[in-house]
Amino acid sequence: MARTATGLGDAVGASAPGAGLFRPAAALAWREIVRFLRQRNRVIGALLTPVVFWLFIGAGIGSSFRPPEGSGLSGPGAYLAYFFPGALVMVVLFTAIFSTISVIEDRREGFLQSVLVSPAPRLAIALGKVAGGSALAGLQGGLFLAIGPLAGIGLSAGAAAAAMGVVFLLSIGLTAMGFCLAWWMNSTQGFHAIMNLLLMPMWFLSGALFPIEGAARPVQWLMYVNPLTYGVSLLRQCMGGGSAVAWWISLPLGLAFTAAMLWLAAWSVERRRGG
């Protein structure tokens, strides 16, 4: 590990100023991808868990589901189609957030300290971790999107490209959010506890399981302040479904969330914590 960090520092030390940020960030991002691919159980679990949720919840709730007006959904498979964007967001959410556990593991193993004392800028750590985690989340989201025809969702090339753009937008924002939290934590157990307390309510209240229109007024307020709501809304509209929130509202709010999380990640890594 020390050898990896030293090599990283040597590569940066004599490089141009711009490369001094990009090269270590790219190396750290690639390290995240390689680490993930070597852990086959994580790959399988990250892909199959949302599929199981989608099939079982879709089959269990489908008979009692009333599609919202203007959704264009009908028939026995209506809920599977409605739930599909929510399951896609689940893929992105869990892959993005839990990829940042590596921040805590790297600190415990001494790798993070080695990078911190190398010539690499601290900002490169945030960029590398966020880039690696968001790439993984986006690619897994793309794989899940490919099974859309099983839910009766046929996407044109333009709609698929738009959906993938939303997937990567969510991936970057959520990975940056996970990085902000992991940077200040000492144990993976604590990280899991905070994430379960935060993630599941965010996902449940995103419109993934039920439409905003059918929720009680206090729940609607919570859904409207939840940034995931706007990601689910954008994906649903990319797939030809209706949404309570127009795309021209959801898109700026989604961009603002991602920008805010990136700023917080950069701010966090420039603070003292990490070693």
**pLDDT tens digits, residue range 152-195?**
888 899 999 999 999 999 999 999 999 999 999 989 999 989 88
Task: Please report how many Cα atoms fall inside a 13 Å half-sphere around the Cα of residue 214, on the Cβ side.
Answer: 12
- Calpha distance 225→73 (Å, rounded): 26
Question: Please, what is the angle between helix 40-61 and helix 122-145, to 10°?
Answer: 50
- Calpha distance 238→232 (Å, rounded): 10
Of residues 68 and 147, the one with the higher pLDDT is 147
- Calpha distance 121→9 (Å, rounded): 10
List the structure tokens of 159: 């709609």
Percent of the chain with pLDDT over 70: 87
| HEC assignment per residue over 168-205 | HHHHHHHHHHHHHHHHCCCCHHHHHHHHHHHHHHHHHC
Residue 37 pLDDT > 50, yes or no? Answer: yes
pLDDT at 163 (0 to 100):
97
Q: What is the mean pLDDT of the chain?
A: 86
Of residues 64 and 115, the one with the higher pLDDT is 115
**pLDDT tens digits, residue range 59-105?**
777 666 776 765 666 665 788 888 899 999 999 998 998 899 999 99
CB under 8 Å to 216, separation ≥6 — which residues? none
User: Any idea where the domains of the chain sit in the sequence?
Assistant: 2-270
pLDDT at 117 (0 to 100):
86
pLDDT at 45 (0 to 100):
80
pLDDT at 32 (0 to 100):
94
Q: Left, alpha or beta for 274 (phi > 0: left; psi -120 to 50: alpha)?
A: left
Residue 13 pLDDT > 60, yes or no? Answer: no
Neighbours of 157 (CB within 10 A): 7
pLDDT at 9 (0 to 100):
46
Question: Please, what is the angle between helix 157-183 and helix 78-99, to 10°?
Answer: 40
pLDDT at 19 (0 to 100):
56
pLDDT at 168 (0 to 100):
98
**pLDDT tens digits, residue range 229-261?**
999 999 999 998 878 899 999 999 999 999 999
Residues 103, 183 contacting (CB under 8 angstroms): yes
Of residues 34 and 15, the one with the higher pLDDT is 34
Q: What is the pTM of this model?
A: 0.88
